[in-house]
Amino acid sequence: MARAKVEQHPATGATLVVMVGLSIAFLLFIAFLNVVKSGNILNEANLLYAALVFYSGAGALYLGFGVTGTDAYIKFASLATWAGLIANTGAVAHRWYEAGHPPFASLYEMLLSFVWTLAALTLIAEKKYGVKVIGTVTMPVAIVGVVLMQLLRSDVRPLVPALQSTWLHVHVTLAMLAYAACALSFALAMMFLIQDKMKTETFLAATSIFTVGIYAAVLTRFERWGGLEVVAWDAENKSEVFISRGVRLFVTIPDLGWLMLLVFAAVAAPLVLYIVSRWAKISWGFAYATRRIPDAFRNFWYGGILQRKEYLSNTAQLWKNTNPIPENREGLAVVANRALFISILLQSLALVFFLLRVRDGHYASLDAEGLYPTSLAASPFILSALVGGIFANLLYLLLLWRREDLERLLPDSDALDRITYKTICIAFPLLTLMIAAGAYWANKAWGSYWNWDPKETWAAITWLVYAGYLHMRITRGMRGRVAAYFAVLGFAVVMFTFFGVTYLLPGLHAYA
Amino acid sequence: MAHPLRSAVRKSWQTLSSIKTGVVLIILVIIFSIAGTVILQRPITDPDDMQRAYSPAMLHFLDSTGLTDVFHSYWFVALLLFVSLSIIAASVQRFPNAWRYFSRPYKSPDEGFRRALPIQAQIAITDEEQGLGAAERAFRHMHLKSERIVRTDSFSLFSERNRISEMAVYIVHASLLLFFLGYFVVDAIYGWRGFMMLNPGSTSDKIEMRSGTTRTLPFSIRCDGTGEETYTDGTPKRWWSKLVVLDQQREAARKEIVVNDPLVYHGVRFYQASYGRTGKLERLLLNAVPANGNGATQEISLSEHQIVSLDPDTKVQLAEFIPDFVVQDGHVYARSNDVVNPAVHMIVTLAKENRAVNVWLPEIPGIAENASSPYKFEPKELKTEVFTGLEVSHEPGQWAVWAGVILMAIGLTFVFYVVHVRYWVVPIQDARGNHMLWVGGAANRNRDAFEHSFKRLVEQIQKEVRPTTAVGPEKPAESIPGTTVAGR
């Protein structure tokens, strides 16, 4: 059909097995070298390495399953995940024993626990709910998590006074569990949207918007004359450089800002092309909406459920009857897919340049004289944002090339809709308890149970969004697509609370 | 119609209690909360930073609309008041119905109900008594209590579990109201927060409030000591202060507080918030060595303005301690209160010669006259004054908040995990006059799991019925005969 040749890359089963085998062998080889070098086999680094090897194997096999649909892969993928989880558990236990407190105190320790939770949830989702392809999504995330851990400081760090509380562990454990449940509900909602026959182009637009958001956030650190501001790193003390209490010193890496700007343009291109290809429809939709909004509002406000349903079906009918433009811009959509492909290459380039420039060299700062080094450990959020962007785009490619297989393998849309709701039913009480434990701890450490600190406020916003979801679902009978959009929105807010607040908004939650 | 005012009141009441109003209010709260995290907020941000971030006109606008202190502005509180009103109105509106439902359960279903119920099944039986008996045994098998409902013309069975679940949502809403009551009513009116700085040995009952005013406590606090412990790498490990409460001149309480473990006295809480050095001298230990080499070295200890005799003729006074000195135009100035670059000014007076010598440590060229002093001074130890910073708060509303938390945990558990399950069993006759057992079920949530247990119940009843009856002729034996488990 209209799909171009570039988009047809079905790797055959045999090549894939060879590739997976080779990569596992390579990783095992490196792991072996690492073990020989360090002498002690069962230390944390080696356990983590083993976890990485197994997770990588599992990820490759899940991906192989996602691409080829060969059921045999899934068995080995599960086995590899189990092995990885055991190694990961060992690493967590080792850490716990060595540090003397549960591993939640630093970003490194939280990632360790997060990856563990993710792997455990993957196995639960697979065994209990039969969502087999979920590993395709979660395992790459786990791999990225373990790789990030290798870059971050891993030495056991003493706890500053404010963190010496049992409530820290209660609070953070609940937060991790709640966020993991939210992540799961998001993945399930996305799967629902796939099963609900949402257009692949719409996923393209969503992916593109997500990536544009990431690069827009990164570009908030754009400095004049094309530099990119990153936090300076003190290699000796293994910590960020502070000018004064709580104020970090930023250094400017020259020219990296231009590259980010270029990649921003590249990731925006698919979105622009999508909008152009659907322009006729979108502009018609706008005109239609402006005419109907007062109506819709009146209807929302005064209409009962029955009237509303009638109204919606009328609207759909009207849309069909009056929308004059047929779909004749398929060509542009193809170009948009190609643009996305190019943007993945450019994003990888940006990541590579970021890694290289950050790892070596000393840079000037606007706030202090002299040159300062920086480190990847000082910019975990930029790093995870760049990696996350590439990952989301790759997932879209998987959908683009293998949609039929995915549809065949996923549970039906009704089941997904219900599981999403159930997951949120688990996430919401956890969120509530997490906020309550945080408030109790704040009452002991800061002198007040509620401070309207940005992190607190955003946690409350997350809670409100999910409360809205539950009200709409229970009392208004919200189902299907709207519910899925709501779940996606909820997770977006969770992500902002977790990453965005720390990165963009200052506050009391300086530790994580 | 009769009374326009009354209808207007009723209309606004209905608007207030509708779920749409609730959703719109939630959205408004979210929008303003976001504004409160994105716009720099007043008491926390430095005024200079505010002026740097916004233009004067912008700042004026933000200040006058209260956007620089969203969470304490009257309109945000008003908005949350509306939320509370909406919750109350919605609960009042729906509660009577729910209460009727709760207090007078629907036990014997009529024909219309039986037709409309989505989850139901029919089982062939020989007579009423045999069918009901079998159903009772099946209920017992599934650990459900059943009761026989006796009407004038009929018998039926009713069984239910967890009726309280219908009330759970009111528990959750009540807990939200408790939060608002605690935070926005009790604490907003009676609560306060402030700061107190104490040196070891000092006593105070004055608190600097956030607003800049001072508050006097009805009792006073004495600090018997404070200190810091660090890890080997220098990061702080522990800050502590020994506090004593003096109420009417007598010791009423005593506690060593650390971060995360405050002292509470009469609802006033004292938190270890900071620790540091004031930049004032507590004690300076010196060796005084006679400059001409005759006589022994003396060890002396000085505090500010203290005078010590070195020999009958010579006295030394500590005139000034500068924690962070800088020399400019032949004068010594203090640059900051941090003890980073200290200097000591001492005056050595010689009674016989009637002269005074200015001694500086370290020796500052052009100012110090150390050479003409009869003693040389070697600093041994410098002790500067420490202080403990105490965050003081009085939040009587927190008990309502904690009660709300517990209530909400209970409520949410009931809302999400406790399902109200009801079963009805009614013997009926179908169109051809055959005896049938009508079985119906309903659950207020988690329908899938309920459909599953409903199927199990029906199978169990069939098992109990079967030994004495043949299966209805038109129904296959394997699948559950006549079971219609309708979709949603």
Question: How many percent of chain A have pLDDT more than 70?
Answer: 74
Q: How is residue B185 written in tokens?
A: 């009513």
Q: Identify which has the larger pLDDT, B32 or B234.
A: B32
pLDDT at position A490, please?
Answer: 93
Distance from CA of A292 to the nearest CA of B (A): 19
With CB atoms and an 8 Å threshold, state whether B41 touches A461.
Answer: no
pLDDT at position B404, please?
Answer: 93
Lowest mean pLDDT among B238-252, B306-320, B325-339, B427-441: B325-339
Which residue ranges make up each domain of chain B? Answer: 4-102, 105-162+419-485, 190-278+388-405, 280-382
With CB atoms and an 8 Å threshold, state whether B391 touches A447.
Answer: yes
Q: What is the CA radius of gyration of chain A?
A: 24
Average the pLDDT over A51-61 and give the result: 83
Distance from CA of B149 to the nearest CA of A (A): 32
3-state secondary structure labels for all residues of chain B: CCCHHHHHHHHHHHHHHCHHHHHHHHHHHHHHHHHHHHCCCCCCCCHHHHHHHCCHHHHHHHHHHCHHHHHHCHHHHHHHHHHHHHHHHHHHHHHHHHHHHHHCCCCCCCHHHHHHCCEEEEEECCCHHHHHHHHHHHHHHCCCCEEEEECCCCEEEEEEECHHHHHHHHHHHHHHHHHHHHHHHHHHHHCEEEEEEECCCCEEEEEEECCCCEEEEEEEEEEEEEEEEECCCCCEEEEEEEEEEEECCEEEEEEEEECCECEEECCEEEEEEEEEEEEEEEEEEEEEEECCCCCCCEEEEECCCCEEEEECCEEEEEEEEECEEEEECCEEEECCCCCCECEEEEEEEECCCCEEEEEEECCCCCCCCHHHCCEEEEEEEEEEEEEEEEEEEECCCHHHHHHHHHHHHHHHHHHHHCCCEEEEEEEEECCCCCEEEEEEEEECCCHHHHHHHHHHHHHHHHHHHHHHCCCCCCCCCCCCCCCEECCC
Task: Give the total residue count for chain B.
Answer: 488
Residue in B34, B412, B413 closest to A461 by CB: B34
Distance from CA of A476 to the nearest CA of B (A): 8
Q: Which chain B residues contact residue A465 at CB under 8 A?
A: 30
Distance from CA of B164 to the nearest CA of A (A): 17
Tell me how far apart the alpha carbons of residues A221 and A496 are, in angstroms, rounded to a whole number: 17
Distance from CA of A439 to the nearest CA of B (A): 10
Tell me the torsion sign for CA atoms A171, A172, A177, A178. positive
* pLDDT tops 50 at residue A443: yes
Minimal CA–CA distance to A267: which of A219, A224, A226, A223?
Answer: A219
Average the pLDDT over B10-19 and give the result: 82
Between A and B, how many CB-CB pairs are < 8 A?
Answer: 103
Q: CB of B189 within 8 A of CB of B395?
A: no
Lowest mean pLDDT among A146-155, A246-255, B228-237, B412-421: A146-155
Which residue ranges make up each domain of chain A? Answer: 1-158, 166-197+411-512, 199-278+329-404, 280-322
pLDDT at position B400, please?
Answer: 92
Closest chain A residue to the Cα of B183, Cα to Cα: A450
pLDDT at position A431, please?
Answer: 93
Lowest mean pLDDT among A33-37, B20-24, B400-404: A33-37
* pLDDT tops 50 at residue B293: yes
* pLDDT tops 50 at residue B433: yes
Q: Which chain B residues contact residue A308 at CB under 8 A?
A: none
pLDDT digits (tens, 9 = 90+) for B295-330: 788 888 888 888 888 888 888 888 888 888 888 877
Name the band, by pLDDT with cuts 50, 70 and 90, for residue B343: confident
pLDDT at position B408, please?
Answer: 92
Residue in A425, A460, A472 closest to B416 by CB: A425
Name the band, by pLDDT with cuts 50, 70 and 90, for residue B285: confident
* pLDDT tops 70 at residue A137: yes
Q: Which chain A residues contact residue B262 at CB under 8 A?
A: 444, 447
Distance from CA of A420 to the nearest CA of B (A): 13
Closest chain B residue to the Cα of A450, Cα to Cα: B183
Left, alpha or beta for A226 (phi > 0: left; psi -120 to 50: alpha)? left
Left, alpha or beta for B362 (phi > 0: left; psi -120 to 50: alpha)? beta
Q: Which chain A residues contact residue B20 at CB under 8 A?
A: 300-301
Average the pLDDT over B287-298 and give the result: 81
* pLDDT tops 50 at residue B173: yes
Neighbours of A346 (CB within 10 A): 17
Q: Which residue has the tokens 């239910």?
A: B160
DSSP E strands: which ranges in B351-483? 355-361, 375-394, 421-429, 435-443
Neighbours of A508 (CB within 10 A): 16
Closest chain A residue to the Cα of B24, Cα to Cα: A468
Question: How many percent of chain B have pLDDT more than 90?
Answer: 5
* pLDDT tops 90 at residue B97: no
On the CB side of B276, how many CA atoms lie within 13 Å of its CA?
11
Neighbours of A172 (CB within 10 A): 24
Q: Which chain A residues contact residue B393 at CB under 8 A?
A: 447-448
Residue in A160, A428, A436 closest to B405 by CB: A436
Task: Name residue A5's amino acid.
Answer: K
pLDDT at position A218, please?
Answer: 86
Tell me how far apart the alpha carbons of residues A214 and A194 are, in angstroms, rounded to a whole number: 23
Q: Which of A452, A464, A502 to mutate to test the interface with B (most CBs of B within 10 A)?
A: A452
Helices (H) and strands (E) in chain A, counts: 16, 9
Average the pLDDT over A401-422 and give the result: 83
Average the pLDDT over A48-72 and give the result: 78
pLDDT at position A322, please?
Answer: 56
Which stretches within B142-286 are classed as H helix? 168-180, 188-190
Q: Identify which has the larger pLDDT, B235 or B163.
A: B163
DSSP state of B182: I
Name the band, by pLDDT with cuts 50, 70 and 90, for residue B470: very low
Name the band, by pLDDT with cuts 50, 70 and 90, for residue A26: low
Q: Identify which has the larger pLDDT, A71 or A254.
A: A254
pLDDT at position A506, please?
Answer: 57
Q: Which chain A residues contact residue B233 at CB under 8 A?
A: 158, 237
Closest chain A residue to the Cα of B270, Cα to Cα: A447
Lowest mean pLDDT among B181-190, B265-274, B328-337: B328-337
Closest chain B residue to the Cα of A436, Cα to Cα: B405
Name the band, by pLDDT with cuts 50, 70 and 90, for residue A10: very low
Q: What Cα–Cα distance (Å) separates residue A500 from each residue in A411, A454, B11?
A: 33, 10, 42
With CB atoms and an 8 Å threshold, state whether B29 touches A449.
Answer: no
H-run or E-run covering B120:
strand B119-124
With CB atoms and an 8 Å threshold, state whether A158 touches B233.
Answer: yes
Name the band, by pLDDT with cuts 50, 70 and 90, for residue B476: very low
CA triple B196-B197-B202, angle to 5 deg: 115
- Asked if the B105-162+419-485 domain carries CATH number 3.40.50.460, the reply is no
Distance from CA of A235 to the nearest CA of B (A): 14
pLDDT at position A430, please?
Answer: 92
pLDDT digits (tens, 9 = 90+) for B113-129: 888 888 888 888 888 88
Tell me how far apart the alpha carbons of residues A180 and A121 are, in angstroms, rounded to a whole number: 8
Tell me how far apart the alpha carbons of residues B114 and B424 are, in angstroms, rounded to a whole number: 9
Distance from CA of A36 to the nearest CA of B (A): 31
Tell me how far apart the alpha carbons of residues A60 and A37 are, in angstroms, rounded to a whole number: 27
Closest chain A residue to the Cα of B390, Cα to Cα: A447
With CB atoms and an 8 Å threshold, state whether A448 touches B448.
Answer: no
Minimal CA–CA distance to B457: which of B441, B443, B435, B434?
Answer: B441
With CB atoms and an 8 Å threshold, state whether A471 touches B19.
Answer: yes
Residue in A157, A161, A432 closest to B259 by CB: A161
Q: CB of A223 within 8 A of CB of A366?
A: yes
* pLDDT tops 80 at residue A302: no
Q: CB of A457 within 8 A of CB of A152?
A: no
Tell me how far apart the alpha carbons of residues B458 and B424 are, in angstroms, rounded to a whole number: 11
With CB atoms and an 8 Å threshold, state whether A445 touches B19.
Answer: no
Closest chain B residue to the Cα of A452, Cα to Cα: B71
Q: Which chain A residues contact residue B390 at CB under 8 A?
A: none
Tell me how far apart the alpha carbons of residues A425 and B415 are, in angstroms, rounded to a whole number: 9
Average the pLDDT over B432-446 and give the result: 85
Q: Which chain A residues contact residue B405 at CB under 8 A?
A: 436, 439-440
Tell me how far apart the alpha carbons of residues A147 and B252 are, in angstroms, rounded to a whole number: 56
pLDDT at position A222, please?
Answer: 83
Average the pLDDT over A423-439 and give the result: 91
* pLDDT tops 60 at residue B1: no
pLDDT at position B241, please?
Answer: 87
Distance from CA of A160 to the nearest CA of B (A): 6
Cis status, amide bond into B362, omega within 30 of 0: yes
Minimal CA–CA distance to A191: which of A406, A425, A493, A426?
Answer: A406
Tell me how far apart the alpha carbons of residues B121 and A374 are, in angstroms, rounded to a whole number: 71
Q: Which of B29, B260, B388, B410 to mutate to test the interface with A (most CBs of A within 10 A)?
A: B260
pLDDT at position A6, please?
Answer: 38
Tell me how far apart the alpha carbons of residues A449 and B270 are, in angstroms, rounded to a whole number: 14
Residue in B33, B193, B237 closest to A460 by CB: B33
Q: CB of B303 within 8 A of CB of B283?
A: yes
Tell me how far apart the alpha carbons of residues A60 and A16 are, in angstroms, rounded to a whole number: 9
The gap between the terminal CA atoms of chain B, to the nearest Å, is 39
Tell me how far apart the alpha carbons of residues B79 and B63 are, in angstroms, rounded to a whole number: 19
pLDDT digits (tens, 9 = 90+) for A139-184: 877 887 887 777 665 555 556 666 666 777 788 888 888 888 898 8
Minimal CA–CA distance to B243: which of B253, B235, B233, B228?
Answer: B253
Q: Which of B39, B193, B405 to mutate to test the interface with A (most CBs of A within 10 A)?
A: B405
With CB atoms and an 8 Å threshold, state whether B238 touches A161.
Answer: yes
Q: Identify which has the larger pLDDT, A22 or A381.
A: A381
- What ipTM was assigned to the predicted interfaces of this complex? 0.77
Which stretches within A69-133 are classed as H helix? 71-99, 107-129
Neighbours of A124 (CB within 10 A): 13
Average the pLDDT over A384-413 and give the result: 82
Tell me how far apart the alpha carbons of residues A314 and A285 are, in angstroms, rounded to a whole number: 15
Query: What integer best gives the mean pLDDT of chain A?
Result: 77
Q: Which chain B residues contact residue A447 at CB under 8 A?
A: 193, 262, 269, 271, 273, 391-393
* pLDDT tops 60 at residue A49: yes
Neighbours of B117 (CB within 10 A): 16
Average the pLDDT over A361-365 and give the result: 79
With CB atoms and an 8 Å threshold, state whether B193 touches A439.
Answer: no
Q: Which of A307, A457, A509 to mutate to test the interface with B (most CBs of B within 10 A)?
A: A457
With CB atoms and an 8 Å threshold, state whether B273 touches A447.
Answer: yes
Name the band, by pLDDT with cuts 50, 70 and 90, for residue A18: low
Q: CB of B280 within 8 A of CB of B324?
A: no
State phi, psi for B479 to the nearest 5 degrees. Answer: -75, 165
With CB atoms and an 8 Å threshold, state whether A464 touches B26.
Answer: yes
With CB atoms and an 8 Å threshold, state whether B260 touches A161.
Answer: yes
pLDDT at position A172, please?
Answer: 82
Q: Which chain A residues contact residue B73 at CB under 8 A?
A: none
Q: Which chain B residues contact residue A160 at CB under 8 A?
A: 235-237
